[in-house]
Structures are given as structure tokens and as C-alpha cells.
Structure 1
Amino acid sequence: MENSDNDLKFAYTLTLVFSVLTLFNLLHHEMWRDELEAWMIARDASSLHGLIDNMRYQGHPMLWHLILYPITKISRNPIAMQMVHLVIATASAFIFLRFAPFNKLLKGLFVFGYFPFFEYATISRNYVVGILFLFLFCAYFGKDFKNRNYTLLSIILFLMCQCNALSTVLSIALAITLFFEPLLTKNFTIYRSWRFYAAIAIFTAGLFLSIIQMKPPSDSYWYHSVIITSDIPSRIEDQISEIWNVFIPIPRVELNFWETNILSYLPVPKELRYVIRLFAALGLFLFTLCIVFRRKVAAFYYMVAIAGITAFGYIFYEGSLRHRGHYYFASVAALWMCSYYPMGEFTKPSYNVFFNFFERNKNRFLTLIFSAGVIGALIANSLDYIYPFSEAHETAEFIKKNNWQNMPVSGFWDFAASGVSAYLDRPFYYPIPNKTGTFTVWRSQSNINENALRATLMYRNTVKTDVLLVFNKPISFQDIRRYRLTPIKYFTQSIVLSEKFYLYVMRYPAPKINNSVD
């Protein structure tokens, strides 16, 4: 009883510390366009039908947007989204600290690691919702095997499917594991229970609903995103090699640290560095596999989950570190599941000696991996405190300070400038798709303007007043003279390379442009 009380106090204390530090990080984090896009989609919807319509070209399930939708009706300030994200990230941390079968040191290192404490906490995206349901599943999975609540587990998987594509992949792996668990443990009585098949129906409905939401329309930018190539081994190698970046997520110490890795400091050719990363990644994968191997159910889940994430990256979307972070959580979930099953033994003693080595060194291995995550989180959150993650907020504040927030604004590129639009809470004219709006609609364009400046000139002639240009790349000196632009201010200290902004004013009446202008 005393140990239980101490464990609960430990979970509450560390959760409080996590929540306070994450709040500090959030309040010093400038959101970038991918965070703000979800906020604008929910904010600009006047009804649930409007929200569904806004989501058509996003390629995400709607749960995160449904959570944000009522919040946007209370406040139009995107900080409200960060507070919601804080609550979900804190809940995820508490569930892990309270129920994960690791010692206190490992629990503490994990929750303050790169993904739980920076990528899925400081940056407000839908990924943390999927992780919350993953942890909930793991916590309830091993609870009362004889009277397991399959309905509850299937509801958790249903909701997990509604978070994002990668959490859907993990939910499929968990569902497959649930289905085959009686075969792996030779306990076939569950196959005679109607509740088992009702749970399958609930999960299948959730998966079907998720696929419907993620399937892009025929005119979507993502419609032809299947990327199977003939070079299968090379593509799979690329996916597997990223496990190094996921397990050792220590970035370079520089302004543009995001999506970098300390391995790039090695003074060797790029090709050799890739080979080193590939073999190191395989080593990390195999070490984890050897830890879980003698627990059939956990090993089965681990292999299905890793194969699923790799296949998704190969077939649909290669993604970035934030997507591949699901390799990390799949591994942690497999290790969590290990605690629910007795360790199997081989008939050959030499096999047992081999796998005993990995069992004995499991905590040392996890301490190394989780400590690397802590270092990565410390570097990432520190640099995010020193430098703006995005210049969108600072650009918007400058515009407000000079009372230009009501001027017609031309934003280029539209996906980048949309972040400034979010902070100003107003639509921009986007010259490439030739439309006015806020969030990016990922629709393939047949009629686009190839020259943003000429399109802006035509827009300015329509509104018959000066136009403020918010571009995410500098305009050449020749075009500044040609279009008689007035440079205002440049914001170039963004951690995200494409979130720099350059402000110009195009005066009215229009300058005369000769026909030689491209």
C-alpha cells in the first residue's frame, strides 16, 4: 500500500512539473503554419457542416478539429489551442507516469524526452491525441485478462483512428494483435464471445470512418500521393535508417535545428554517414526486438507496428521526424506490453543465454535512449526559447503596431503566409491560386498565376489602394524597381526555414509596367 501511495505521489508530482514546464515552453513558442492551419479550419467554420467542408482537402481525420471547434467559438486567440494541447499532453504524461511498467528513473526520462516534451507537447498538433489513446490502450490492455473489456479497448482504438494517419496505423497494429492474441497464447475461448466480435465491429467502423475522412478528393494536391517506386530496397532502407533519428533525436545546436541530427557533425562523406546511420538504426531496432522477442504478443505487435509505419512511409508519405516519431512510441508500447506476459523459454539453452543478455541490459539500453531524448528536448526547447520558431507572430505584431492590419494583403506563398493571416485573424489575397482566404486549401490548380507580383498588381488595381506584401522569400532588386515596391522590414530569424517573411508595400496608383515583364 505504501509503495502504491509513493507511486501515485511520484506520478502527480512529475505530472505537475511537466505541466508547468510545458506551459512555459508553449508561451514562448511561436506557432507555425501547420499548427495554425487546424485552428483556422475550426475557427472559420460556422457550423459542423462547414467544418466538414473545410476539412475536405486536409488528409486528416477530424477529431483534433472537433476538439478545437467549440474552443474557437469561445475565443479566437490561437493561444486557446495551445492550452487545450497542454491539457492533452499533460494527461498523456500522467497516464504514462502512473501506469507504465518502468522504474521511476525511466519514467521521468521518458516524459521529458524529445517527443513527449517538445515535438508532441510544445508544438500543437493532432499527434498528441493519438499518443494519449495509445497510452490509454496500453494501460487497460493488461488489466484483468480474464474479464477484459474488449468494448472499451475497441472504443479507444476507434478514437485513435480519428487522430491522424500514423495513429491509425498503430491502432491497426493493436487491433491485429488483439485478434491474434488468443492464438499466440493458446486461449481460444475468447473466440466464442460475442463481445469479441462486437469489439471488432466497433474498431472496423472507426477505421472505415477514418479512411473516408483521409481519402482526398480527385482534385486534391494529395490525390496522387502513392509513391511506390521500383527501387524498393533503397526506399525501405531510407525508412529504417530514420529509426536512428527517432531513437537518438539530438539535433544540431544552431538556428535551424529542427529536423537535423547530431550525426551530421561527423566529418565523413554523406554516403558514409548514411551507411553508419542505417546500421545504427538496424542495431537499435534489433536490440529492441530481442528484448521483446520471448513475449510472443508484444513481439508480434512490435513487428506489425514497425512494418506498418515503414509501409506507410514507403507507399503514401515519407514524412518528417514528427511523423516517424511513431516508431518510438510503437517501441515503447511493445516494451509496455511485455510486462503483461511471462517470458518464454527456448529448448536450447544457448538461445536463452543469448536473449538473457538483452533482458539483463534492458534498463541500461532504455536509460541511454531516454537520456538521448532528454538531451534532444533540452536543446530543442532552449533554442525555441532563444529564437522564434516561426516569424509569423512577430510579423503580425509589426503589422498591428503600424496600424496596417486593415490594409489589403497579398501573401506568397499562400501556405507560408497563412500563419500571419491566422495571427491577424483576417483573410489574405493569395496571388498564386488567385483567391482570398485564410487556411490553405490543398486543391490542385489548373489555372494559377505563375507570377505573384503581376497577380498582386492586378489585385491592387482592383482594390484601388496600397497593398501590403507578405512574402516568404525576398524580392529581387530588379523587381523592386520594376514594380516600384517599398521594402518595409525583413523577418529572417525563424527556426523553420520557410517561415521567414519579407514585407513590402505596392503603392497605388499602379506604376506603368512594360510588356517585357515576365
Structure 2
Amino acid sequence: MGFKIWRWMAEKNKQLSVIDRIILAVYVCISISALFMHEPWRDEAQAWLMARDMSIGELIANARYEGHPILWHLLLKILILFRCPYQSMFVLHMLINAIAVYLLFRFAPIARGYKLLIIGSYFISYEYNVIARNYVLVMLFLFLFAWQFPKRFEHPIRTMLLLSLLSLSHVYGMLFSGVMLAFYVGEGFATKQLNFKRWSFYFAMLLMTSTYLFMIWLLLPPSDISSQTNQMTQTFLADIASNLLPYYESVWKNIFVVICLVGLSLSQIRNRVRLFEMVAMIGAVVAFFFFRYGGGVQHVGTIWLAIIYAWWCSNEQTQYNQAKLFPIPNIIIHIGQVTTIAFLVASVASAVLFWHLERTAHFSNASDAAHYINRLPLELKPSMIISTKLPHGSALLPFLKHQNQLYAVQYGYFSFVKWSDKQFNADCLSSDPAAYMNALQNELQNHANEKNIFILVDKNESPEDDTALTESIPLYERFEQSAHFQKAYDSKQISLRGGEDFAIYKWQP
């Protein structure tokens, strides 16, 4: 019996058995349960609010401030045109994740035991499943490309279409597709599998070139974001390793992650070209982290997607793949298999932990704060809500029934956040409590005719804010001590994603 189970786990069969279908059904059911537990945070709300409040032309114009292509926003725009509620975004996101997981489980030539652990890993089953962001599109198009990988040279137009969609999904998708295109052309030329005399090849290249030119034009940074630069730390590489296995912080954990992923690469990605391609893809992302953005958990997860892609394609039984296998001592392979399983099990454990936290804790307190406002009688509802920090306050807007905008000192009314110097300076003001309170009092005098003015205050500084408070009394405490502000609401739990622990104060002139 034990031998049969082991053989079943080791199979690389691309046919789904009854047990496989049950496993996928259980995965989908668990994913659906998140619809009733997850509390969206500001990054999820940002994309929805942009799609809700902007035309397609405005989405294109704003993309250079957002730093993302607009494919995800266009999908959300379709939902909004059909008057779908905010929750529909999460249904769409989980559907895309389910399709990607099906492709992996159905077609990837990876041992079934590994595939079970992969789909249960943190980024596949939680980060890119529960949290609705455009990263799931990167996963989908990477897996679609891996699925058609053996026939990539036979259908150049289809290949370039997938790479174009990957580019339009996310800036990391653009980096990946650039590396994949270079290897595609290089391999095709070296193995003479690309027919340079066919019109389809040149049409495909024209499609890809047009996509890259469009992306460069779309994401070219504007002149008014000069204040926002990447703040590097001495633990840059350690932070990347740490984020590949979230939650538990330890130097030993970082060493464990590096050893495990090196072992995985040597034991599972046996094709030289695929290994070099994976290294180039990861290198492109890490370089982006270094020069542009330090890389949070959701960003670093794209490295895991690149590893899965290379693992998948390396195992495809093509003549060229087999010719490029490089010899590794059996002892290294066995050690690598152990480290692969160790990392996957640790990642699954991390996913289980965060699923537990979804059920028992608050991912964000935004929905709870919004529901408090919605429950107020009409005569007590605010005519104006001032948010002390722009992006954090926007997390409430998709839930509010009577407000489509918030207000920020030295910024004005807003729904989504435009990441410009104006926003950056307004948020910096809230890091100086004394200056902020003076500026707020001046703003309140200018809006003295408003009936009910609420102040939405962050009780904690967000983890990404490196600026220390310039005064000994934090902003939250100043509202507590002021006789002009009466507390109306206070979130009781600390949010899993920092900076969305709210208190609401009513202004009393």
C-alpha cells in the first residue's frame, strides 16, 4: 500500500485521476472560503477605485504614476461597467488563480507529490490567491507559456501573444518576458528551430516590438515623482530571502531558504538553458528591487513563479531539452530533493498560518471602519472625511455607501491615490505631528460650514515608512488629548498589513 502511494506521488502523468480532481475541487472550495473572511487592504482598493473613477484614457495616462500596466484595471473596468460589486474583483482573481493552478496540476511534468506542495505553497495558495492584485496575471501567463513551451517554435504568433500579455500584466511580467524572448530567439537560432523565412515569425516579432514600445511609453516615469526614491538597506538580499518564506524572522531562516532553493535548482532544473534563463529572470527582478523598489512579500513572490516556470519547462521531454542535461552527482541530487521538500513543506506551513490568521485576525480594519460609518443614522453621517494618510484611507472607499471621496490636508479630495510629489509631501506632513495638527486646524476653519467632519487617523505608522516622528507625542495621541476631537470609533485589533489600524474622530468646533 505504501509503495502504491509513493508511486502515485512520484508520477508525472499529465492525465487527471479522480483523486486529482478531488484535490483541485478542495483547493477551489478553500479559495472560495476566503471570500467570506478576507478584509481587503489599500493596494487592492487602489486598482478598483482607479477602474471605477477613471476612463480608459485616464487609466492609460495614470499608468506612469502607478508603475503598473493597465490589463488588470481593464478587467476590473469590465466588471464595473456591468455594475458588479467590489466583491466581484475577488471572484475574478480566484478564478484566474484556479485556472493557473489547473494548468500546473494538469500539464506540468513534475512529480505529483511536488505539485501538491507547490499549489499549497504560500504564494500560490495565499498571496496570489486571496489578495486580489495583478500578480495573479503574471502567474497565469507564465503557466500558459510553460504549457505551450514544447510547441513554442511551431507557433511563433501564439508565443509572442503570450509574451505580450505577460508584459501587459505587471512590470515584473515585462521583465520576465524580455528575458524569455531573448532565450526564445537565441535557442531558435542556435537549434535552427525558428523559420526566419516564414511571415508569421516577422509578424510575431512586430507584435512583440510594438508591445515593448507601448510599455516603455506607458510606464515612462513623469517629472513630478522625483521625491520618491528607493531607500536601500544593508539587509537588501537578506530581506528578499526572508520574504520568500514570510512571517518567521530569523537569520537562520534566510540561510535555510538560500540552501533549499539552490538545492531545488540543482536537483530539479537539470537543463542548463532553463537554469540560466531562471537566473536571468530572477536577476532582472532583483535588479529592479535594487534600483527602483526594495521588494515586499508580494513582489518577491515573483521569484518563486520564475522558479516554478523553469522547473516546469526543464522537465519537458523535448529533444533539445534532453541534449542539454548536465551531469550532477547522485548525492547532490538526493540532497537537493530533500531541501526541495523541506522548502515546500515550510512554505505550505506558512500558507496554513496565514489562512489561520485570515480567520482569526484582521487583515485590514478598513472594512470594519467603513461599516461603522455606514451604520450611522443619516443625520449623523459625515459630510466630509479627512484621512491623515492618503493610501491608507482609500481602503475604506469601496465599502462606503454615501462617500465616493476622502480629503487629505495639502492634497485635496481623492478616491484613488496618484503617486506624485504632491501625495508624497502630503503624507510626509503626517509624520510631523505638530505641523500636521496646525495645518489640519487651518483646513478645518476653511470647511467650517460642513455639518459633520470625521478625521480618519492611523494609529500606527506603516512598516514601509522609514521617517521617524519628529515629535515625542505621536499624531494619534494628539487627537486623544485635544478637546476639539471626540473619538467615535477605534479598531480593536492590529491589522496583518500595517498602517490600517484606524481611529475615527469627530471634529467639535
Q: TM-score range by the shorter chain?
A: 0.7 to 0.9
Specify which of 303, 312, 319 is matched with residue 327 of structure 1: 303
Tell me the equivalent position of 1:255: none
Tell me the equivalent position of 2:388: 412
Alignment of 1:426-465 (within 5 A): 426-445=403-422, 448=426, 450=429, 451-461=435-445, 462=447, 463-465=449-451
- Displacement of 1:277 in angstroms is 5.2
Tell me the equivalent position of 1:394: 368
Specify which of 322, 333, 336 is matched with residue 342 of structure 1: 322
Specify which of 73, 96, 101 is matched with residue 104 of structure 2: 96
Tell me the equivalent position of 2:344: 370
Summarize deviations over 1:424-460 as a string: whole Å, max 9, x none: 1523443333301211111112985944444444444
Whole-angstrom distance in 2 between the partners of 1:330 and 1:121: 17
Where 2:67 maps in the other structure, the secondary structure is coil
- Displacement of 1:178 in angstroms is 0.6
Is 1:167 the counterpart of 2:173 in the alignment? yes
Is 1:141 the counterpart of 2:149 in the alignment? yes
- Displacement of 1:362 in angstroms is 5.2
CA contact under 8 A between 2:125 and 2:351: conserved in structure 1? yes
- Displacement of 1:280 in angstroms is 3.8
Tell me the equivalent position of 2:85: 77
Tell me the equivalent position of 2:501: 500
Where 1:489 maps in the other structure, the secondary structure is strand
Summarize deviations over 1:140-198 as a string: whole Å, max 9, x none: 0113x6x62111111011011111111221111211111111355x4365445443343
Cα 1:41–1:419 shift into 2, 3 Å: same
Where 2:148 maps in the other structure, the secondary structure is helix
Is 1:180 the counterpart of 2:186 in the alignment? yes
Alignment of 1:93-132 (within 5 A): 93-132=101-140
CA contact under 8 A between 1:33 and 1:416: conserved in structure 2? yes
Is 1:302 the counterpart of 2:286 in the alignment? no
Cα 1:416–1:484 shift into 2, 3 Å: same
- Displacement of 1:478 in angstroms is 5.2
Q: Which stretch shows the higher mean deviation, 334-343 or 7-16?
A: 7-16
Alignment of 1:247-258 (within 5 A): 249-251=245-247
CA contact under 8 A between 1:242 and 1:281: conserved in structure 2? no
Summarize deviations over 1:403-423 as a string: whole Å, max 9, x none: 354431111111111111222
Whole-angstrom distance in 2 between the partners of 1:239 and 1:165: 20
Tell me the equivalent position of 1:259: none
Specify which of 149, 157, 165 is matched with residue 151 of structure 1: 157
Tell me the equivalent position of 2:458: 472
Specify which of 46, 52, 55 is matched with residue 37 of structure 1: 46
Is 1:206 the counterpart of 2:194 in the alignment? no
Q: What letter matches 2:496 in structure 1?
A: I
Whole-angstrom distance in 1 between the partners of 2:156 and 2:76: 29
Summarize deviations over 1:211-265 as a string: whole Å, max 9, x none: 322222111367x5367x8xxxx86x7336623541xx252xxxxxxxxxx243x
- Displacement of 1:25 in angstroms is 1.5
Q: What letter matches 2:216 in structure 1?
A: I
Whole-angstrom distance in 1 between the partners of 2:264 and 2:213: 32
Tell me the equivalent position of 2:35: 26
Gapped regions of structure 1 (runs ≥ 5): 252-261, 265-272, 347-351, 511-518
Cα 1:413–1:492 shift into 2, 3 Å: farther
- Displacement of 1:199 in angstroms is 2.4
Cα 1:61–1:280 shift into 2, 3 Å: same
- Displacement of 1:361 in angstroms is 5.2
Q: What letter matches 1:489 in structure 2?
A: Y
Tell me the equivalent position of 2:266: 290
So what's the TM-score if we normalise by structure 1?
A: 0.82
CA contact under 8 A between 2:35 and 2:90: conserved in structure 1? yes
- Displacement of 1:328 in angstroms is 0.9
Q: Which stretch shows the higher mean deviation, 385-394 or 95-104?
A: 95-104
CA contact under 8 A between 2:457 and 2:476: conserved in structure 1? no
Where 2:409 maps in the other structure, the secondary structure is coil
Where 1:496 maps in the other structure, the secondary structure is coil
Whole-angstrom distance in 2 between the partners of 1:343 and 1:359: 19
- Displacement of 1:296 in angstroms is 2.6
Whole-angstrom distance in 1 between the partners of 2:438 and 2:159: 56
Cα 1:90–1:79 shift into 2, 3 Å: same
CA contact under 8 A between 1:113 and 1:373: conserved in structure 2? yes
Whole-angstrom distance in 2 between the partners of 1:380 and 1:410: 32
Summarize deviations over 1:51-103 as a string: whole Å, max 9, x none: 33454521110000000001112236311111111111111111111111112
Q: Percent identity?
A: 23
Gapped regions of structure 2 (runs ≥ 5): 1-11, 430-434, 460-473
Cα 1:99–1:476 shift into 2, 3 Å: closer
